[in-house]
Structure 1
């Protein structure tokens, strides 16, 4: 005989598949759902937690539990901006700028961007959204010498488009992906719980002549975004 929480899990999942709850819709409170299924809140919470782990539902801090949006996918081939990825999937991209500073390049930035120790970068922190759902927290570093004639909006809102508009030809990118848990600060930005599964991505993007023009450290919400490989 199936445990009660599995039966509830299956019932909720079936209702979602049948369209009773739409993508992005908020579910009733735990108390109301526990009453509906005639079980304890602990049993109901087990079912919901399992659905969250499967990516069917998602919890938003201070807001409730929602039917999860379909994951945004990034094809791991070539160099594509976040805006282009989100647009290609019929979603609306947006960003929230947290900080924007001109700073001396760190040792790591010098190494990854092929800079001298006394050169400057523009370093910015952003939260990136798809249909107003936070997907990624990122820190991007760009050599100042490449973007002296760009205005701030061009850099923070549509950087790749701006690069092409100024005659730069974008080439390959180098990416490293690993798993980690969300810190309290990042969790607050992404509206998830501290310790939530994160896909961390480090990416260096190059111009067609091999010169690196952007070094990005990103943290994606694990159950809202996925990467996939495509081989020729």
Structure 2
């Protein structure tokens, strides 16, 4: 069957799919408006919406109410295994990981943080918050808490510079403290994104996220980190590995 013999909505699907594949419309990019696309294809909005619905079902497009239609790339799989290896996981899938430090500060542990790290309430902790990207697209926001009495340099110039240059907390712990970074327990659940995170991750307020709370330990099994990461639900898949 020739292309011109296909239903018009199918022709629209094929053209848009091809443009996404060729990078004319890139991941994260907003498509032209319904009115503009309807005019371009010389169809009514009902026909256009039928085509958009097919591409949405294929996982190529995302429709945000009130914001428009966006190109969605193939979800990135992040393996939750014994070792904390975020960068390697993305690189293996052809993605280029990078990070933006949002804050590196000293805090006093509240009851919840103290319980997670098994330290006294009011003890000093380091908080590192980072925005993670893959090929310049925001993927997640993570908050990492460390007992400051064990890792005092982590919030000083040397630690901050290392994170900015290397982007790896696991490497930072090995470099400064010869400390292993092993995943002990991870709890994952879904929730609607909070306002501040939505702004940073560039998604609407009704957008789902995957929230992963992790407890990590050193080679002797002592707790060294409590982490909370908010992953974009449309861009990430978490895979658990024994």
TM-score (normalised: structure 2): 0.79
**Which secondary structure does the structure 2 equivalent of 1:185 belong to?**
helix
* Of 12, 21, 24, the match for 2:27: 24
Cα drift, residue 143 of structure 1: 1.1
1:187 aligns with 2:198: yes
* Of 207, 210, 225, the match for 1:214: 225
**After the TM superposition, which of the residue ranges 25-34 and 192-201 deviates more from structure 2?**
25-34
For structure 1, the residue ranges without an aligned partner over 5 or more in a row are: none
Instruction: Quote the RMSD (CA, aligned, Å).
Output: 3.2
Q: Which runs of 4+ in 1 moved over 4 A?
A: 4-10, 16-23, 25-28, 58-66
Cα drift, residue 128 of structure 1: 0.8
* Of 15, 18, 24, the match for 2:18: 15
- How do 1:1-232 and structure 2 match up within 5 A? 7=10, 10-11=13-14, 14-15=17-18, 19=22, 21=24, 24=27, 26=29, 28-30=31-33, 31-41=35-45, 44-45=48-49, 47-48=51-52, 51-52=55-56, 54-58=58-62, 65-150=69-154, 151-155=159-163, 157-165=167-175, 166-231=177-242
Do the aligned partners of 1:171 and 1:209 also contact (CA within 8 Å) in 2?
A: no
For structure 2, the residue ranges without an aligned partner over 5 or more in a row are: 1-6
Would the alpha carbon gap of residues 104 and 155 (structure 1) be closer, same or farther in structure 2, given more than 3 Å must change?
farther
**Which secondary structure does the structure 2 equivalent of 1:32 belong to?**
helix
Cα drift, residue 82 of structure 1: 2.6
Aligned residues: 228
